[in-house]
Amino acid sequence: MNRGYGAAWVITMVGILVLGGCNGTTGESAQPSPEVKQLQASLEQAQQQKKQLQDDVKKLETSLGEAESQLAGTKEARDQLQRQVQDLKAAQSTLETKVGGLENEVGQLNAARTKLEATVAALTAARNAALTDAQTAQAKVDQLNDKLKVQTQEMIELQEQIKTIRSVLEQLQQKLQ
């Protein structure tokens, strides 16, 4: 960056000296020489490039901030999904335990079916409901696992984008120096 400012300063000073009449000639018109015009054009071009690079750096910094914000949101959503998956797995385990208990009871009630037919019907219905709940919980676990995979992939892609943006930003900052 200092080299760029130093070159711009030298070009500016040469331009001022030439335009100011300190070019060693007396009595000549104040028309700038082709070299001065070329220096002025180079100076203007360098200033435009500097402005463009500064604008690019600002855009990249904004993009980096947005990407980091999205990454944080994705991480938070992933953590929330992982907690839900754990809760559903615990619920599934509880339901499976209940189903196992109900199946044992159904077996005992079948032996005494003639006396307890009404009880067997109720327990069978409860067992079926528990199985349905277990299946529903498994389907939710599967959906959440799929979402977790997608969000994990998105997080990986966002991290790659952040690396790329940081690399471009470092290159632009080096160019400005």
Is residue 123 over pLDDT 80?
no
Mean per-residue pLDDT of the chain: 81
Half-sphere exposure of 11 (CA within 13 A, CB side): 19
pTM for the whole structure: 0.34
> Is the Cβ–Cβ distance between 73 and 38 less than 8 Å?
no
> Is the Cβ–Cβ distance between 162 and 46 less than 8 Å?
no
- pLDDT grade for 27, boundaries at 50, 70 and 90: very low
Q: How far apart are CA 127 and CA 21, in angstroms?
A: 103
Amino acid at 59: K
Query: What are the CA-CA distances from residue 60 to residues 14, 34, 63, 167 (Å)?
Result: 35, 38, 5, 10
> Is the Cβ–Cβ distance between 105 and 122 less than 8 Å?
no
Is residue 163 over pLDDT 90?
yes
Q: Scanning the structure block, which residue is given the tokens 């910094």?
A: 61
Is residue 54 over pLDDT 90?
yes
- pLDDT grade for 103, boundaries at 50, 70 and 90: confident
CA 126 to chain centre: 46
